[in-house]
Structure 1
Amino acid sequence: MPLWFSMLFLALGVACSPDTEEASEHPFDQLTEEEKRLPENALVGIKVNEKVKVNLFASEPMLTNPTNIDIDHKGRVWVCEAYNYRPAITGNETREVGDRILILEDTDGDGSADKSTVFYQDPELNSPLGIWVMGNQAIVSQSPYVWLLTDTDGDDQADKKEVIFKGIGGEQHDHGMHAFVFGPDGKFYFNFGNSGGTIEDRNGEVLKDSNGKPILPEHYKEGLVFRCNSDFSEIEVLGQNFRNNYEVAVDSYGTMWQSDNDDDGNKGVRINYVMEYGNFGYKDEMTGAGWRANRTNKEKEIPRQHWHLNDPGVVPNLLQTGAGSPTGMVVYEGRALPEIFWDQMIHTDAGPNVVRAYPVEKDGAGYKASIVNIMEGDKDQWFRPSDVCVAPDGSLMVADWYDPGVGGHQAGDLNRGRIFRITNSSSSPEQPEILFNTLDGSMEALLNPNLSTRYQAWKNIKAMGKDAAPALERIFKENTNPRFQARAFWALAKIDHDSEKYIQAAISHENPDLRIAGLRAARQEKLDLAPYLKQLVRDTDPQVRREAAIALRNLRIPEAPELWATLAAQHDGEDRWYLEALGIGAEGQWDSFYNAWLEKTGDEPMSSKKQQDIIWRSRTGRAVNHLAALASDQGQPLEDRLRYFRAFDFNPDREGKSAALVKMLEEQSLRQENQEESNRINKLVLSHLDPAYLNHSEIAQSALRNALKESEGTEAYLELVQKFEVKSENERLLEMALVESDNNLGKTAATLLLRLDGIEMVREVLYSGAEEKVYPMLSVLRGIGTQESLQMLESMAFDSSLPLNTRKEATSAIGGSYGGEEKILELLKSERLPENLIPAAVTGVSRAWRKSVRAEAASYLDSSSGADNPLPPMSELLAMEGNIEKGLVVFKTNCAVCHQVGEMGMDFGPKLTEIGSKLSKEAQFISILHPDAGISFGYEGHVLQMKDGSTLGGIIASQTETDIELKMPGGSTVPIKTADMKTMEQMENSMMPSGLEKAMSTQELVDLVAYLMSLKRESN
């Protein structure tokens, strides 16, 4: 296609209105696959907001695979490339010389890069995920390291590399360390996802937070947000319990925002206001259990369940955006773009191929937000925006990974990558010329929307010291933009010896955001907070009071209980943000704070919703009786009281809450008016009762017996048996294992039966000769994989006194677990299996996720499993037309055993309900043909070596200190006690079987992909 014709398509793609697109075929659809990937057509398949203008700033071959960008004070774009992304998994080629940090520059001012400089390249640089540029230096994040790269001689090439931090997660992990950013307070902010774990200094010493607590998984959960000084000292943990929080963004008041990723396919991607020191709910705060684990008052929708939003102590989400793979974020405080984007978050989400703004409004002590799309790859699903930054001229730069997939251990294309420039549709901003070495120039730079420019200003202002104060005072007092006032205030508070004067001025300011900034500065400067808090605890603005509550955290002064009680008395019963701020502020001082609050409430601390909330959120034994009274209050519907039962799990007074729960059982036994509700309450009490307390109460034991009888045959029954280890239930467990042999209830029942000394009962069934019991028992033992179960199955296989069909079924059942697969291969290698059992053994592992196991087992048959099914090249596959309805049939036959679409299929691998929005057509083929190239985080297989010598394999559905739920293909789970486990290691390969395409024709494969591509997200 001629270039002029491609550019015509480009113009049409940008200017075309939605109505026009619906009325005629989109130009992108008229391109060949090769033409679609050309840089000159980069915008043809992207829908652009009508209020802005977008142009291609840079593309391949100038750069490839950009993961993260930053823009320096000269307007140059610094790019982290990830050509060497996950080669051990993707199988892609690598650059032996390592990945690159590039500097891209537009030297002639035409809006496109024409100069590229390699700032740094080294074999040790492998898929860096973050860069922050500060003059001649760059902080580069690449787990397990954070490096400081310095250009010492001014040639734009780093000649010095220092380790700043290390020991952070695994090498090349998307859920590890992300980018650093510069805050208005002169500090650095950064984060890591839930593979980070810990952080060490350059000498390998585990860092401690500001409270002296080592930053380790036993102290902080999952993904974390940090702050430190610009010399990397005084590290603080500002938020925890995220999944894969990616690049924190900080506004001029010091407020933090970031995105977070759900487990793939669960529509739970979220945007968070990061309330300082908050718990954000990815894992159960007390047990560490995953969101799938059963719990009282569990949220009704999976996207909300994902974040434990009904649990006390979890900060609410600002916004949930559905399925996605969220990455870079910035707060746009420029004025070059249309007003709707002023002072708002701008965010890239590579999953749904979109760059969005989230206009925010204050909502009580928190916020609410809406969504405005800026760029959307509605046609070109290779558009994978990975980061966004603000240039000194106020334009936005967007990095595009440009790939059929979104990372997640997958890269389908190594040779492409783009940077887009977003400007106002009516004008093109120009790069400002700033004289940084002058006072006026430094003031101008401080007000620039670009962070690197502000950093240069900050350094100069700090060097000027008190000489800069008059100019800063003028901005603070006279400027009409409160964010500029905030930046000037932060500088005054940090550089001048009269910082208390400026902090008091901010705390007394008419603008609540500046009052908040003032209090934050007072905390950072370690001033006496009591006078400020006395002034602010009755502030008319709930957001200011929120900050006052947070400021009380670990503040051990005589006035603290009264100050907190004053704040608590102003809770309105509706504002969850405010309530969680109160909880954060009371940490470590709940007893005294709660007592002070009780004195204010008088004799009726439970008379209203606002008071009931405080009881629900509290973490003190002094609240136990109030909590029990609320849980027992028959004046409220039971559904409304579930929250109080759940709150017992978070109360630290084990003895007190157990006694209160037993007392509830006693009171229930005296009530006769509603037996059904009484039974439900008894079950609730038992589910929250400490098992060690059971033997202290005959009424609790009686309630347990009744609850077991009433819930027999259900998941709730199994949970009670497991929790209290009730061996007297073995007869019922055996019956349940047989009746429910084709589902997870039966497998769980059998597992518990074996654990509770019921092995002889199982063996008796297996040798009973009653086929109606023998075969269900063999079926339910398949996949358990414990040493006991495998030994019984092997004994049956070799017992010549048993019918041959029974022996074949037992042989096949051996291969239903990870350790059983190994056992089958061992039996085949040793030639111990009789010839007439070999086909059954091979059949038993025919659905093993390890291709090597299936292939080796099949080699012991006289005839192979069938001729290879060579596929045409990818270009031909992409050109073939598929039938969606026929693809659905293929899905049900081959994929539904491990994946769900809506309610169809098994919950084992990632949900595929919206996979057509997340992956391009090519990526769908790659995921099927090369499953190891795209293992979704959270769906990695694990191998567990048990103390009894058995080997189990599956996905960790939930893990606490005492229990593990191991999910098996087909969706069933096996409960395991961590005390019975010796070691646990992650599998290198995907648990999705490779060679799946060999079970279908080429057309069936194409039909399957057509069906998967039809699974689109609903438009916003």
Structure 2
Amino acid sequence: MQKILLNLTPVILRKGLFGMTILSLSLFTIACKEEVKEEPFSLGEKYFSESTQLYLPNDLEATLWAESPQFFNPTNMDVDAKGRIWVTEALNYRMFRNDPNIFKHHEEGDRVMILEDKDGDGVAESSKVFVQDKDLTAPLGISVIGNKVIVSSGPSVIIYTDEDGDDKPDNKEVFLTGFGGFDHDHGLHAMIAGPDGKYYFNAGNAGPHIVTDKSGWTLRSGSLYNGGSPHMIDNEPGMVSDDGKVWVGGIAMRINPDGTGLKVLGHNFRNSYELALDSYGNMWQNDNDDDGNKGVRVSWLMEGGNMGYFNPDGSRKWQADRRPGQTTAMAHWHQEDPGVIPFGDNTGSGSPTGITFYESDLMGEKYQGTLLASEAGRNVILAYKPEPTGAGFAMNRHNLITSLKEEDVEDAKSRATDEDKTKWFRPSDVLVGTDGAIYVADWYDGMVGGHRMIDSTGYGRIYRITPKGKNLPKPTIDLSTTQGQIAALINPAVNIRNAGFALLAKQGSQAVEEVKEVLNDKNPYHQARAIWLLSNMGTEGIQAVEDQLEANNPDLRLTAFRALRQVKTDILPYASKLSSDPSAAVRREVAVAMRDMPMNEVKDILIELASQHKGEDRFYVEALGLAMDGKEEEIYTVLSQELGAEPLDWSAGFEDLTWRLHPNQAINGLKDRAISQQLTDAQRKKAVTALGFINDQAAVNAMQEIAASDIAGVKDQALWWLRYRRNNDWNEFAIDIPELKANLSPEIQKDMLAFKATLENTSSSKADKVKAAVAMAKDKTGGFMLLGLAEKEALSADLTAEISTVIFQNPEQAIRVLAGDYFTNPTESSPLALSDISAIEGDAAKGKQVFMGKCATCHQVGEEGRNIGPNLSMIGAKLDQNGLFDAITNPSAGVAFGYEMWLITLKDGTVASGFLQADGPIVVLEGLQNEVYNIQASDIASRKRFATSIMPKPSELKMNETDISNLTAYLVGLNSETN
């Protein structure tokens, strides 16, 4: 038997901050060292034949560690105590959309594979199936913790236990279930063991997530999200969990290994693919934006933090809340709203995936403390050395490994041909092995995002990154001795540490002295692991942790406080001691720990913490906001006495606190500041914004007074807030402002309503019905009404045939496209062949003309075009030529999340169509001309969400093969933030 391997020859490319090495990967075939009986494959099947180049720092090298057919379509990895890599496959990914007659798949369910390099030569020669299960459909997470293999495959977290060590599961347990997002990228993600011995994980916004832990505690998380999968059920914003809180969208969680103690640690993400913890207990994640909006982020997550994708209860998208003058990224994550955590590093457009934190020095000291974030959309693993800054972190980004040359975008454009596979490097996960090497899983495909694939073979790869010329041997981990358990505790691999942690904690006081020795380790991350462990080792261990509250390193003081929080019922003495700590990060942790504690117990601590805030630290003021959650009115009285002044004399710190807390009793002071000529424009604007977040008639009245003032700028801001809030949080308050022109009324649609009545009247003649139907089919409003009737099967076959002859000439593009779901287009042409298109050499200049003439009516590139569909300014950084061909010729194969068309019919018969932006007492649709429909929910008779993309097929735009080739040549070059 043979298998295909890659030979990598390192060549120095250039030196930069890290320096870069280019790896030319050329193909050759050798005899397999070991028969892979567990994974038979056809020798005639072609898995990979193109050359690829990868770039990484010049002190590192990468080798191909494993590839298909040892596994397929890798989504996530983990490593066990033997140093073997476990991989979850997603061959059955989106089979409802990806034709099973074309795409490789497994009828018996997806699999978990075990890969091993037995002889230590840097190549995995062994591959075997651990489990194949019909309950596994495109699983997105795996953790191997002891003899438990934890697999995340929505709607469930499943634990397979291998009791006898034969690499086959002996037991299967549904550990948790009820998560939304079956077979969905925005669903359930990987579980990992934290430094405290508990399990941490997250889920995207494809809810609702209604999950009950083994103690009976129930999480309920919903949002406005309603797209992406036929398996989804209706999401519901504003649900309350058993902790009394409203958790929204994507969520991060922690749970005890026994399945009790489920706790939400942060929320309101779009889709954080994975959660990573460092040994201090800091949580790190990435998150993708609505496609094309250049808002992808890599973030530190504050405990309990709201990361700002939806409004606080999940009923409104960011577009509905966007304020005049806000940049897309700031609006996208509600960054100027009180109660939202700063988003960290905005990486632009992309599709972020797996993430991990590197704490060893085996790769060299400069890599210790590096956050590694996979970016499949941008063909790169991003590297950060997070720098503590105030109560948060500064995130400075570098590339660890990428298939794109940083300094030569034009070269990438020139190589963007059908044969070029530059953008097929799709890192789906990054892992630290027991040997300290970095392992990168490559999904390898020309398409990423939108639930689509191009590669029908399921090919995948795993690369191993090591220091150049340095052997990183796989350690032997002996868990039968205390020293072996400590060696596991300080191992570079995250879940291996848990094996040492659990066994040492079980020893209790007997192993305290040995564990205390780790406090002297030169690696501070090892010291932090010892702190967490000691807090679980009885009285002597806890005393050692209390001593660390005096440590010189603020990260260790912070870790000690976090550890004590989990094992001590009374943490107020510690909180009081640290409330005046010189480190803002330490004080931040004290603040978030005060969130649910009674006011009478924490008042003095809160005052001390607040007195330390001087302004200019958004992380700190948000931590204070969490500390004062539910106590805003009561604490503001105290803060005013201790820290306040006359409204026009507020300090920057007190101004921040008032903005963040926005209590009712601050209304008059905010109004005075908003209309004061003594303050700056920024200070006045901040006061107006704070008023906009107070849900009280007095705040409305104050805003109306400001709107009646004659202060330039402030008046317009207040008027905007009144009109905006009237359609959501202030809907039930009395607001007296000039009305905007109504965009929905029976009067405007009266002609079409009359025609519709004719169709619905059983006594109308056939001729009258045909006349009415034809008239409606030619009109935008009438066309949408016909779609609504067709959806309800309220049109006869004769009428459907008559409408089919007319509706595909409707002036509204969306109607022409959506009509194909219900009517037969008499002029529909055969689909264009990709082979015919790819044979034509595209002209980018002519492609831009095609874009401006055909695509700019819905899409933007830079400042050109309209913001209706996804922004395409960086589409070339995400898709290669084949991916663009597929997206253009098969637009409904992957509708971008948030761009599903809705049709709402009111009780009076009128209709509105567009993209759903808010759902509550007022339903907000954004129409195809960027008009906004604000609709009383009580007036709605029916709703319809279309699965078909409103992007027309090329034939409907009268585009031929040459047009598509030219357009693709233009789009493939759009990979710069400056487009």
Q: TM-score range by the shorter chain?
A: 0.7 to 0.9
| Residue 152 (structure 2) aligned to one of 141, 149, 155 | 141
Q: Mapping of 1:92-241 within 5 angstroms?
A: 92=100, 93=103, 94-201=105-212, 207-208=218-219, 214=241, 219-241=246-268
Partner residue in 2 for 1:593: 635
Displacement of 1:556 in angstroms is 1.6
2:596 is the counterpart of 1:554: yes
2:514 is the counterpart of 1:471: yes
| Residue 367 (structure 1) aligned to one of 388, 393, 403 | 393
TM-score by length of 1: 0.82
| Structure 1 pair 443–870 and aligned structure 2 pair: CA distance change class (3 A) | closer
Partner residue in 2 for 1:990: 949
| Residue 456 (structure 1) aligned to one of 499, 503, 516 | 499
Displacement of 1:1009 in angstroms is 1.5
Q: Mapping of 1:440-589 within 5 angstroms?
A: 440-476=483-519, 478-556=520-598, 558-589=600-631
Task: Give, as a single letter, the amino acid of the residue that structure 2 aligns with 1:868.
Answer: S
Displacement of 1:978 in angstroms is 2.3
| Structure 1 pair 121–625 and aligned structure 2 pair: CA distance change class (3 A) | same
| Seq. identity, % | 35
Q: Distance in 1 between matches of 2:511 and 2:51?
A: 46
Q: Distance in 2 between matches of 1:229 and 1:855?
A: 48
| Structure 1 pair 79–636 and aligned structure 2 pair: CA distance change class (3 A) | same
User: Do the aligned residues in 1 keep the contact of 2:707 with 2:719 (CA within 8 Å)?
Assistant: no
Displacement of 1:851 in angstroms is 6.1
Q: Distance in 2 between matches of 1:929 and 1:276?
A: 44
Partner residue in 1 for 2:418: none
What secondary structure sits across from 1:179 in the alignment? strand
| Structure 1 pair 636–260 and aligned structure 2 pair: CA distance change class (3 A) | same
Displacement of 1:316 in angstroms is 0.7
2:964 is the counterpart of 1:1005: yes
User: Do the aligned residues in 2 keep the contact of 1:42 with 1:56 (CA within 8 Å)?
Assistant: no
Q: Distance in 1 between matches of 2:880 and 2:707?
A: 56
2:837 is the counterpart of 1:910: no
| Structure 1 pair 869–664 and aligned structure 2 pair: CA distance change class (3 A) | closer
What secondary structure sits across from 1:239 in the alignment? strand
Displacement of 1:899 in angstroms is 2.1
Q: Distance in 1 between matches of 2:214 and 2:512?
A: 39
| Structure 1 pair 528–961 and aligned structure 2 pair: CA distance change class (3 A) | same
User: Do the aligned residues in 2 keep the contact of 1:65 with 1:414 (CA within 8 Å)?
Assistant: no
What secondary structure sits across from 1:532 in the alignment? helix
TM-score by length of 2: 0.86
How big is each residue's C-alpha offset from its partner over 1:904-945, in whole Å with a ceiling of 9 and x where there is no partner?
333222211111110121111111222233222222344546
Q: Mapping of 1:575-974 within 5 angstroms?
A: 575-601=617-643, 603-604=645-646, 606-652=649-695, 654-661=696-703, 664=706, 668=709, 674=710, 676=712, 679-680=715-716, 683-684=719-720, 686-687=722-723, 701=736, 704=737, 708=738, 720-721=739-740, 733=741, 749-751=742-744, 754=745, 759-760=746-747, 763=750, 791=757, 811-813=777-779, 817-821=783-787, 823=789, 829-831=796-798, 839-844=805-810, 847-848=813-814, 853-854=819-820, 857-858=823-824, 864-865=826-827, 868=830, 870-871=832-833, 874=835, 877-942=837-902, 944=904, 946-948=906-908, 954-956=914-916, 958-969=917-928, 971-974=930-933
What secondary structure sits across from 1:497 in the alignment? helix
Partner residue in 2 for 1:245: 272
Larger radius of gyration: 1
How big is each residue's C-alpha offset from its partner over 1:212-232, in whole Å with a ceiling of 9 and x where there is no partner?
962699821111111111212
Q: Distance in 1 between matches of 2:258 and 2:74?
A: 28
Per mean C-alpha deviation after superposition, the further-off stretch among 825-834 and 548-557 is 825-834
2:56 is the counterpart of 1:58: no
Displacement of 1:636 in angstroms is 2.1
| Structure 1 pair 55–306 and aligned structure 2 pair: CA distance change class (3 A) | same
What secondary structure sits across from 2:778 in the alignment? helix
Segments of structure 1 that go 5 or more residues without pairing to the other structure are 20-24, 32-36, 669-673, 709-719, 722-732, 734-748, 767-780, 782-786
User: Do the aligned residues in 2 keep the contact of 1:191 with 1:224 (CA within 8 Å)?
Assistant: yes
How big is each residue's C-alpha offset from its partner over 1:712-732, in whole Å with a ceiling of 9 and x where there is no partner?
xxxxxxxx54xxxxxxxxxxx
Q: Distance in 2 between matches of 1:898 and 1:923?
A: 20
Partner residue in 1 for 2:35: none
Q: Distance in 1 between matches of 2:615 and 2:340?
A: 16
How big is each residue's C-alpha offset from its partner over 1:28-62, in whole Å with a ceiling of 9 and x where there is no partner?
9999xxxxx98777773222222211011111111
Partner residue in 1 for 2:230: none
Displacement of 1:205 in angstroms is 6.5
Q: Distance in 1 between matches of 2:599 and 2:800?
A: 75
User: Do the aligned residues in 1 keep the contact of 2:214 with 2:260 (CA within 8 Å)?
Assistant: no
User: Do the aligned residues in 2 keep the contact of 1:816 with 1:844 (CA within 8 Å)?
Assistant: no
Per mean C-alpha deviation after superposition, the further-off stretch among 131-140 and 969-978 is 969-978
Per mean C-alpha deviation after superposition, the further-off stretch among 816-825 and 223-232 is 816-825
| Structure 1 pair 156–788 and aligned structure 2 pair: CA distance change class (3 A) | farther
Q: Distance in 1 between matches of 2:219 and 2:321?
A: 34
User: Do the aligned residues in 2 keep the contact of 1:954 with 1:969 (CA within 8 Å)?
Assistant: yes
Partner residue in 1 for 2:52: 44
| Structure 1 pair 598–39 and aligned structure 2 pair: CA distance change class (3 A) | same
Q: More helix per residue: 1 or 2?
A: 1
Displacement of 1:792 in angstroms is 9.2
Q: Mapping of 1:418-457 within 5 angstroms?
A: 418-457=461-500
Q: Distance in 2 between matches of 1:867 and 1:412?
A: 23
Q: Distance in 2 between matches of 1:761 and 1:227?
A: 53
Task: Give, as a single letter, the amino acid of the residue that structure 2 aligns with 1:44.
Answer: T
Partner residue in 1 for 2:234: none
Displacement of 1:95 in angstroms is 1.7
Q: Distance in 1 between matches of 2:270 and 2:516?
A: 42
Q: Distance in 1 between matches of 2:197 and 2:794?
A: 66
| Structure 1 pair 817–544 and aligned structure 2 pair: CA distance change class (3 A) | farther
User: Do the aligned residues in 2 keep the contact of 1:180 with 1:190 (CA within 8 Å)?
Assistant: yes
Q: More strand per residue: 1 or 2?
A: 2
Per mean C-alpha deviation after superposition, the further-off stretch among 818-827 and 562-571 is 818-827
Aligned residues: 913
Q: Distance in 2 between matches of 1:204 and 1:945?
A: 44
Q: Distance in 2 between matches of 1:144 and 1:867?
A: 41
User: Do the aligned residues in 1 keep the contact of 2:790 with 2:822 (CA within 8 Å)?
Assistant: no
2:266 is the counterpart of 1:266: no
| Structure 1 pair 534–108 and aligned structure 2 pair: CA distance change class (3 A) | same
Q: Mapping of 1:3-18 within 5 angstroms?
A: 10-11=8-9, 14-17=11-14
How big is each residue's C-alpha offset from its partner over 1:726-745, in whole Å with a ceiling of 9 and x where there is no partner?
xxxxxxx4xxxxxxxxxxxx
Partner residue in 2 for 1:312: 338
User: Do the aligned residues in 2 keep the contact of 1:149 with 1:159 (CA within 8 Å)?
Assistant: yes
Q: Distance in 1 between matches of 2:523 and 2:327?
A: 41
User: Do the aligned residues in 1 keep the contact of 2:114 with 2:129 (CA within 8 Å)?
Assistant: yes
| Residue 402 (structure 2) aligned to one of 373, 376, 383 | 376
User: Do the aligned residues in 2 keep the contact of 1:888 with 1:1008 (CA within 8 Å)?
Assistant: yes
Task: Give, as a single letter, the amino acid of the residue that structure 1 aligns with 2:67.
Answer: S
User: Do the aligned residues in 2 keep the contact of 1:209 with 1:237 (CA within 8 Å)?
Assistant: no
What secondary structure sits across from 2:197 in the alignment? coil
Q: Distance in 1 between matches of 2:423 and 2:248?
A: 34
Displacement of 1:893 in angstroms is 3.5
Displacement of 1:543 in angstroms is 1.0
| Structure 1 pair 630–419 and aligned structure 2 pair: CA distance change class (3 A) | same
Displacement of 1:391 in angstroms is 0.4
What secondary structure sits across from 2:465 in the alignment? strand
